[in-house]
Amino acid sequence: MSGNTYGKLFTVTTAGESHGPALVAIVDGCPPGLDISLADLQHDLDRRKPGTSRHTTQRQEPDEVEILSGVFEGRTTGCSIGLLIRNTDQKSKDYSAIKDLFRPAHADYTYHHKYGERDYRGGGRSSARETAMRVAAGAIAKKFLATQGIRVRGYMSQLGPIEIPFKTWDSVEDNAFFSPDPAKVPELEAYMDQLRRDQDSVGAKITVVAEGVMPGLGEPIFDRLDAELAHALMSINAVKGVEIGAGFASVAQRGTEHRDELTPQGFLSNNAGGILGGISSGQPIVAHLALKPTSSITTPGRSIDIDGNPVEVITKGRHDPCVGIRATPIAEAMMAIVLMDHLLRHRAQNGDVKVNTPVLGQL
């Protein structure tokens, strides 16, 4: 199957390069009768789009989406939904100097070897620009999930060396970092300002949480919900690690510590991150992802050109010093797409299942 398609029943297929005419997506499998407006999609696109603070790239893209099909009189029809975003701020000349060489830690070298051909302008297809379409598709998934009582939200949990403790969802949308701790924001700003002066970049950690997920989502044994989340989140540009629940902390845990005991009042902990045996338990789904530092920095680095000669590379252009800052809406979108796909898969097979056992929440 196509590497540019995600999902089995709720599928998202995308196309488009950073500096081509447009990004396009086809979202298929959405149940009919869902209220969808441009504003629904635009809200998350605006949260992701560049240039909204001094801490992200100054490239200006309005990222205005057009719905081409699949929505009639404000409701989905059940037919495939076409989405289009025109690229408007294409400064191709910024990139012409790097046509014949490979920027370190970029996809230049691997695309070249894989395809022989590549659109070198701004990274072409390997640019994080494609994630705009994930966000648009994810907004449709979020809208549907909301009708089922499910809410997907994310926040930044670490910026470079600065850990950000979760304090409150209320703070997340009020700062440029999606920080859940308003008190941390000045420190984050100072860090980023220094980073720009250093002409360097840094990594980040994002946490995504889904609340209200019913028990039963996930398809053993290979399409476990955690496996699919790992797939979807790792497919985001710059992600190098994914954890579910306690994640790598589980390594040093003992069984008596890790296991989330059940009581009639609810689960007593959530080391599992809401997933047991690959199936949602009814607890909040919790995933963490590690994003590497942006490769596009103006500090010179060693590389080679397409003939194998050594070169020194300085990546100019307008880049994010921390791609993690704009990653929260993207991670939410991917989690929402996975959950929606699995909700449909689950009800296909198990729509008739009824059990008397109460559904536990988390204490």
Q: Which is nearer to a second copy, 37 or 110 (CB)?
A: 110
Q: Which of 246, 209, 220, 248 is nearest to 335 (CA)?
A: 209
Residues 272-331 that bind a second copy (CB under 8 A): 272-273, 275-282, 290-295, 297, 299, 301-304, 306-310
DSSP run (H or E) holding 154: strand 151-159
Closest approach of a second copy to the CB of residue 348, in Å: 3
Q: Is there binding between residue 261 and a second copy (CB under 8 A)?
A: yes
Closest approach of a second copy to the CB of residue 57, in Å: 14
Q: Is there binding between residue 170 and a second copy (CB under 8 A)?
A: no
| Pairing status of strand 5-6 against strand 11-15 | antiparallel
Numbered residues of the known binding site for FMN: 125-127, 237-238, 277, 292-296, 318
The single residue among 165, 359, 361, 363 that binds a second copy, judged by CB under 8 A, is: 359
Q: Is there binding between residue 356 and a second copy (CB under 8 A)?
A: yes
Q: Which is nearer to a second copy, 175 or 303 (CB)?
A: 303
Q: Confirm if 31 and 78 have CB atoms less than 8 A apart.
A: yes
- The Cα–Cα gap between 328 and 152 comes to 11
Q: What is the CA radius of gyration of the chain?
A: 21
Both tokens of residue 341? Answer: 């796909």
Q: Which is nearer to a second copy, 53 or 250 (CB)?
A: 250
DSSP letter, residue 174: T
Closest approach of a second copy to the CB of residue 281, in Å: 5
Numbered residues of the known binding site: 48, 54, 125-127, 237-238, 277, 292-296, 318
- The Cα–Cα gap between 43 and 45 comes to 6
For a second copy, which stretch binds (CB under 8 A), given 35-43, 164-172, 175-183, 240-248? 240-248
Q: Is there binding between residue 336 and a second copy (CB under 8 A)?
A: no
Write each residue from 6 to 45 as x if it is in contact with a second copy (CB under 8 A), else as -, in one continuous string: xxxx-x-xxxxx--xxxxxxx-xxxxxx------------
Q: Which of 291, 293, 274 is nearest to 338 (CA)?
A: 274
- The Cα–Cα gap between 322 and 128 comes to 12
Residues 128-157 that bind a second copy (CB under 8 A): 130
Both tokens of residue 348? Answer: 């296909």
Both tokens of residue 314? Answer: 């300085």
